[in-house]
Amino acid sequence: MEKWKAALTEAANLSGWDLRNIADGHESKFIGSIIKQVLQEVNQTPLDVAHYPIGLDSSIQHIELLLQSGCEHEVRMVGICGVGGIGKATLAKAIYNRIFQQFDGSCFLSDVRSKTEEIGLVKLQKKLLNQILKTKEFEVDSVAEGVNLIKARLGSQKVLIVLDDVDHRSQLKSLTRERNEHLLYGLTTSEIYQAKLLNDNEAQQLFSRHAFNSFSPPQEYDELAQDIIKYSGGLPLALVTLGSHLQGRSIEEWRHEFKKLRAIPHCDIQKILQISFDGLDDNTQSVFLDITCAFHGCYEDDVTKTLNVCGFYSESAILTLIQRNLLQRDCRYLVMHDLVRDMGREIVRLESPRDSGKRSRLCWHTGSENVEVLVVERWALKGVKLSTKAFQKMINLRVLKIDDLHISGDFDLLPKELRWLSWKGCPLKCIPLNFPAEKLVVLNMEGSDVQDFGLNLQCCRSLKELNLSDCKRLRSTPNFRGSQSLKILSLHNCSSLKEIHPSIGNLERLIDLQLSGCKNITDLPSSICQLKSLEYLSINDCLSLQTLPVDIGDV
């Protein structure tokens, strides 16, 4: 009873609304004003998240822990990052719905990047102020004025601000009240949450819910569904898009669509993934496309050396691509999500959809002067013999991968601009003298049938890496005179090799020399002691090696 009395007393002491002052005595307008005010106070509508929020719970818990760490009155900032289509916005909405009622005011600004371009930061600032303070009285004339208003009006309140799809620091600075630039731009690794791909079970559930409205595929669709789920690589965007696209279709239609997908990505997936690419500068875009077409899964040092020689600033570009979640490092190798790789290759395909020869990068052998990168997969032309005439028009070709292919003809027809050549399993017995190697930086002929390396290295003044590993028939090394740029020389497992040319001592920049497994080498030339830059020498399993040069310890 006492609680009731106290509550009634408190209610009686509340000031009421004056009908005459608020609505000039109009009762209907008066009631409308009350309803509007009440709705502003209590109508906090949750955001629409995902129809099937599968795999969100653990991520939500992790981010809540990040938000709870630190002092009670400290400004907390948490960044969510990840590849396009991984569900960053979905996760942010779910977090917003979970905690927005704990704050004096809240605002979720979606698509900040695109809306900044469409309507400008000033209108976004106005929207943020009006939504948090539940009023439309604010007029903002400039970004600077908006920043000051946000600091002045929100500085003493406990507010929740979620900014979706931010791609520039100016957007953060203009839409938050934080003065400390370290907090704005210097988020530590503990304040950044890397959104996760779905595991196999979650991926199957999400795909099946959209494709079959169940948690698993029907038996007759199971095998094909698993192939599509695997193709999606745990990316929610792909699982939802493809599941919805295939819903209600026959198995034959599924097979046809999946075959098409492997050649041409779905347009909705391509559109989302390409947003990150479109925001890159020309240098970084070119590096990205080169990696997608030729260097996916390659050793980072090899990639940077090759691309730098092609005129790109590859170290800076690779760092940017990693920051944009378009590329990852895996034990010093460069890798990316399969769908991101396909997105890059689709950009190249669209340069000339009908005529592949007019594209800048190719995975085939027909091309024109537009082609800069050519990768011929070994399975595509297995057993086929190519003529050097196929490359005659590719005058700007700088990267060429032709592993295990049989090529014959006049090698002088090969492009003179080549910087990187991979011809593993080359069937030639001897490298012809007219082989165009003037600008080559990397030459990889691992596992080839080469017996005599006839190429004059004096013409290869740019060559930095020569890989002749596993060339079982190689009997002698080339004359190294004139190839002072060489840094890496690999002769690993050249079991027929009996001697190293004494000119090897001229390689003043050689850092890495691989001779392990050269079972027939009996001695090393004394000139090897002149390799002043040598850091690594491998002579494991050189079973016939009897003595080492006297001064080898001076290397």
pLDDT tens digit string along 349-389?
887 776 665 666 655 545 566 778 887 766 555 556 678 88
Q: Are strands 406-408 and 442-444 parallel, antiparallel or unpaired?
A: unpaired
Please tell me the least confidently modeled range out of 171-175, 179-183, 457-461: 179-183
* Residue 113 φ/ψ, nearest 5 degrees: -60, -55
DSSP letter at 46 equals P
Q: Which amino acid is present at 165?
A: D
Please tell me the least confidently modeled range out of 58-62, 147-151, 177-181, 224-228: 177-181
3-class secondary-structure state, position 374:
strand
Closest CA to 347 of 326, 330, 376: 326
Question: Do 64 and 186 belong to one domain?
Answer: yes
Question: Do 205 and 257 belong to one domain?
Answer: yes
Domain boundary among 194, 221, 238: 194
pLDDT of 485 higher than 70: yes
Question: Do 180 and 255 belong to one domain?
Answer: no
Q: Is residue 521 part of a domain?
A: no
pLDDT at 406: 85
Q: What is the largest CA-CA distance in the chain?
A: 112
Question: Do 216 and 259 belong to one domain?
Answer: yes
Question: Do 180 and 219 belong to one domain?
Answer: no
Q: Are strands 373-375 and 192-194 parallel, antiparallel or unpaired?
A: unpaired
Interatomic CA distance for residues 160 and 76, integer angstroms: 10
The angle, 0 to 180 degrees and rounded to 10, between the axes of the packed helices 236-246 and 222-232 is 150
pLDDT at 209: 94
Cα-only R_g, the chain: 32
End-to-end, the C-alpha distance of the chain in Å comes to: 96
Q: What is the dihedral of CA 357, 358, 359, 363, to 10 degrees?
A: 0
Domain boundary among 194, 228, 255: 194
Question: Do 289 and 322 belong to one domain?
Answer: yes
Instruction: Answer left, alpha or beta for residue 432, where phi above 0 means left and psi between -120 and 50 means alpha.
Output: beta
Q: Where does the pLDDT of residue 181 fall: very low under 50, low under 70, confident under 90, or very high at 90 and above?
A: very low
Q: Is residue 180 part of a domain?
A: yes
Question: Do 104 and 179 belong to one domain?
Answer: yes
Q: Is residue 252 part of a domain?
A: yes
pLDDT tens digit string along 502-527?
999 989 999 999 999 999 998 888 88
Question: Do 227 and 296 belong to one domain?
Answer: no
Interatomic CA distance for residues 501 and 468, integer angstroms: 15
Percent of the chain with pLDDT over 70: 83
Question: Do 250 and 161 belong to one domain?
Answer: no
pLDDT at 444: 93
Is the pTM of the predicted complex or chain greater than 0.75? no
Print the domain residue range for 304. Answer: 284-340
pLDDT of 17 higher than 70: no
Q: What is the CATH number of the domain that holds 80?
A: 3.40.50
Q: Are strands 192-194 and 328-330 parallel, antiparallel or unpaired?
A: unpaired
| Structural domain count, the chain | 3
Instruction: Tell me the mean pLDDT in the region 92-110.
Output: 89
Instruction: Tell me the mean pLDDT in the region 481-501.
Output: 90
Question: Do 170 and 257 belong to one domain?
Answer: no
Q: Is residue 61 part of a domain?
A: yes
Q: Is residue 382 part of a domain?
A: no
pLDDT of 95 higher than 60: yes
pLDDT at 382: 58
The vertex-512 CA angle with 520 and 498, nearest 5°, equals 15
**Who's near 35: CB < 8 A, 6+ residues apart?**
none
pLDDT of 469 higher than 90: yes
Q: Is residue 18 part of a domain?
A: no
CA distances from 70 to 73, 190, 191 (A): 9, 12, 11
pLDDT tens digit string along 387-434?
888 787 888 888 888 888 888 888 888 888 888 899 999 998 888 878
Q: Is residue 5 part of a domain?
A: no
Question: Do 310 and 329 belong to one domain?
Answer: yes
Instruction: Tell me the mean pLDDT in the region 147-154.
Output: 86
Domain boundary among 171, 194, 217: 194
E strands present in 286-336 = 328-330, 333-335
Question: Do 230 and 318 belong to one domain?
Answer: no
Q: Is residue 513 part of a domain?
A: no
**Who's near 47: CB < 8 A, 6+ residues apart?**
93, 96, 97, 108
